[in-house]
Amino acid sequence: MELTVIAHKSITEVPCLHGFQTDLSSASDRCSPVKSQAFHLNCSVNCNFKTQSYLQWKGDHVSRRNALLLRCIGQERSVCIDRVNGEDQEWSSGRYAFGVEKKLREQMSSKKYSNSSNSSFDGSFVGNDEETNNEILQNLCSKGKLVNASRLIDVMARRNQIPYFPSCINLIRGLIKLESTERATRVLKIMVMSGGIPDIITYNMLVGGLCKKGLLKTAIELLDEMSLSGCPPDAITYNTILRCMFDHGGFDQAIGFWKDQLRKGCPAYLITYTVLIELVCKHCGTVQAMEVLEDMAIEGCYPDIVTYNSLVNYTCKQGKYEDTALIIYNLLSHGMGPNTVTYNTLLHSLCTHGYWDEVDEILLIMNMTSQPPTVVTYNILINGLCKYGLLDRAINFFDQMVSHNCLPDIITYNTLLAALCKEGMVDEALHLLHSLNDTRCSPGLITYNIVIDGLAKKGCMEKAMGLYGEMIERGFAPDDITHRTLFWGLFRLDLVEDALVILKEMNKRNQRIKNSAFRPDPLKHCKGCLFITAYVSDTRGNKFRVSPAG
């Protein structure tokens, strides 16, 4: 049936009455009555102007069609359709708001989409051959339409079509990044069933994504399927699952899991074994870790010095030196001895806490064994002593390392220079800096910045400016730290003209300066009546002008 009402103004399409599609036109005041041969419709209208009008609608009957085209005026509140040549029928729309065109259209399109989107999407690919669908799959993946790509793979699986494996790999990794692990797992299984072999990176990403969501059981099932697919798990796979078990409190589960994997023929990955022992030590204590260490030896998994160093590092960071001693005792009982890394780890922790007597004992042991102190060892000692202000002992260690033919590196010199400048010993710092010219260790930008900063804080701006010129001659480009240090010292002594000279030299070298070089604090120390305002141009160089302070 099709009904038509002649309207005056805007047209609105709305759904109406048992699936009828309605085209409704609203006016502000009145409608034109039109006589009908078969139907007439009385329409009560409530307008914004609080007026009512009555419409007569005309329609031509069309058999077996549920469409109704209405054009009327105003907002409809009730509709009564009277049949002329037959029985009367009445529909009431209640409080149906026909005036909201946009909302109704959205509802209609949403309803249609929800009922037919899945079938229409799948149907668009069902008729394609394998090559065509693979081309579409690559296009979807390249455009980032991963959900549609995964649905296409489902369609191809139902039609016994083999998806392009590189596209599957990219799709799986993309879905994992979107945390859509369920879709990623389904695509991976389809790929494996189609004869594809995912690489270890893809597997590890999926295992990691599952563990991140707490889906440990699914991750273990995937691990068991990896060997069957032709890509056995590696150390990263096992490490990820073990860490997930410990994060969820499954300590005994993790230990039993690793034992089961070893009995199944899993390679005794040393790094995985080390991770397991370290996790046991962290969550269950050192004694439990030593017990697990002995149990694993029965399974053919033995620790090495890396395993012990990992435990020593953890216990030292926690300050649990009794546990550290227990670990070293266990190490010695297995016929191994500490190496330089072991000693350096101990020394670093002892220096951090200021246990200097124990430091001397460790050094004595090192000198008596085949593990003498290295440059790293001396750097640890010198840095720790300098932090505690024990500069004399630090210099003694420096002289000692030179006498033992252990050449200092730039880290050694920078550490000593910073300590000397902090103590105000700038002349000694300059002497040490110039002594670098006679060694194989050349000073760098950081070295010059350390000494310039010390000179500026001491008020020796003439020496600081001389060192500034020296570093430029040697090819070192001053950075923001250099300039900020110099400007701070110059402003502090009210040497504004010297600061302006630096700015002009920077302009000649086309060197940009940031506003951070002019900090507010140094300006408080200006005793003169001038201050420098710098204008920096990104494209045409730097412009400077001197303006009065007041």
Distance (Å, rounded) from C-alpha 360 to C-alpha 372? 13
Please tell me the predicted confidence (pLDDT) of residue 370: 85
Cβ contacts of 366 within 8 Å, gap of 6 or more: 343, 372, 373, 377
Same domain, 177 and 226: yes
What 8-state DSSP symbol labels residue 349? H
Same domain, 8 and 113: yes
Residue 187 belongs to domain with CATH number: 1.25.40
What 8-state DSSP symbol labels residue 62? -
Closest CA to 5 of 62, 44, 59, 81: 59
369 within a domain of the structure (yes/no): no
- Indicate the SS3 state at residue 545: strand
Alpha-helical regions (H) of 319-374? 321-333, 340-353, 356-368
187 within a domain of the structure (yes/no): yes
Distance (Å, rounded) from C-alpha 486 to C-alpha 480? 10
Beta-ladder partners of 312:
none
Same domain, 106 and 150: no
Tokens 């796979």 found at? 237
Give yes or no for residue 216 having a pLDDT over 60: yes
Picking from 98, 117, 136, the residue at the C-terminal end of a domain is: 117
pLDDT band at 121 (very low <50, low <70, confident <90, very high): low
CA dist list (Å): 257 to 108, 208, 218, 287: 55, 17, 14, 20
Same domain, 155 and 194: yes
Same domain, 6 and 97: yes
Same domain, 282 and 225: no
Distance (Å, rounded) from C-alpha 176 to C-alpha 182? 9
296 within a domain of the structure (yes/no): yes
407 within a domain of the structure (yes/no): no
Distance (Å, rounded) from C-alpha 6 to C-alpha 23? 11
Among left, alpha and beta (phi > 0; psi -120 to 50; other), residue 180 is beta
CA dist list (Å): 215 to 59, 187, 208, 212, 241: 63, 17, 10, 8, 10
pLDDT band at 502 (very low <50, low <70, confident <90, very high): confident
Q: What is the DSSP string of 367-410?
A: HHSS----HHHHHHHHHHHHHTT-HHHHHHHHHHHHHTT----H
pLDDT in tens, 457-467: 988 999 999 99
Q: What one-letter code names the amino acid at 230?
A: G
Please tell me the predicted confidence (pLDDT) of residue 437: 80
pLDDT in tens, 123-155: 667 778 899 999 999 999 999 999 999 999 999
Q: What's the average model confidence in pLDDT over 376-391?
A: 95
Higher pLDDT, 16 or 353: 353
Please tell me the predicted confidence (pLDDT) of residue 267: 87
522 within a domain of the structure (yes/no): yes
Helix (H) or strand (E) holding 546: strand 541-548
Among left, alpha and beta (phi > 0; psi -120 to 50; other), residue 50 is left
Picking from 278, 298, 323, the residue at the C-terminal end of a domain is: 323
Find which of 76-80, 106-110, 244-248 is predicted with most confidence, using mean pLDDT: 244-248
Same domain, 102 and 144: no
Across the chain, mean pLDDT equals 76
Q: What's the average model confidence in pLDDT over 367-372?
A: 88
What 8-state DSSP symbol labels residue 163? P
502 within a domain of the structure (yes/no): yes
Same domain, 87 and 154: no
Task: Report whether 462 contacts 495 (CB < 8 A).
Answer: no
Same domain, 203 and 136: yes
Q: What are phi and psi of 41, to 5 degrees?
A: -130, 125
pLDDT band at 41 (very low <50, low <70, confident <90, very high): very low
Buried b or exposed e, range 62-89, using 16+ CB within 10 angstroms: eeeeeebbbbbbbbbbbbebeeeeeeee
Please tell me the predicted confidence (pLDDT) of residue 379: 96
Distance (Å, rounded) from C-alpha 73 to C-alpha 99? 10
Q: What are phi and psi of 475, to 5 degrees?
A: 95, 10
Please tell me the predicted confidence (pLDDT) of residue 48: 40
Tokens 């390392």 found at? 401
Same domain, 154 and 100: no
Give yes or no for residue 549 having a pLDDT over 80: no
Q: What are phi and psi of 19, to 5 degrees?
A: 85, 0
Q: How many domains does the chain have?
A: 4
Closest CA to 54 of 62, 40, 42, 71: 42
Domain that holds residue 53: 2-117
Same domain, 227 and 250: no
Cβ contacts of 332 within 8 Å, gap of 6 or more: none
Buried b or exposed e, range 251-265, using 16+ CB within 10 angstroms: beebbebbbebbeee
pLDDT band at 314 (very low <50, low <70, confident <90, very high): very high
Please tell me the predicted confidence (pLDDT) of residue 85: 39
Q: What's the average model confidence in pLDDT over 286-313?
A: 91
211 within a domain of the structure (yes/no): yes
Distance (Å, rounded) from C-alpha 172 to C-alpha 221? 17
Same domain, 149 and 61: no
Picking from 304, 323, 342, the residue at the C-terminal end of a domain is: 323
Torsion angle, alpha carbons of 231, 236, 242, 246, to 10: -150
pLDDT band at 513 (very low <50, low <70, confident <90, very high): low
What 8-state DSSP symbol labels residue 164? P
Please tell me the predicted confidence (pLDDT) of residue 516: 52
pLDDT in tens, 392-447: 999 999 999 999 889 999 999 999 999 999 999 999 999 999 888 878 888 999 99
Please tell me the predicted confidence (pLDDT) of residue 493: 86
Q: What's the 3-state SS for 28-54?
A: CCCCCCCCCCCEEEEEEEECCCCCCCC
10 within a domain of the structure (yes/no): yes
Please tell me the predicted confidence (pLDDT) of residue 19: 38
Task: Report whether 254 contacts 246 (CB < 8 A).
Answer: yes
Please tell me the predicted confidence (pLDDT) of residue 439: 80
Half-sphere exposure of residue 257: CA atoms within 13 angstroms, side-chain side: 25
Give yes or no for residue 27 having a pLDDT over 50: no
What 8-state DSSP symbol labels residue 318? T
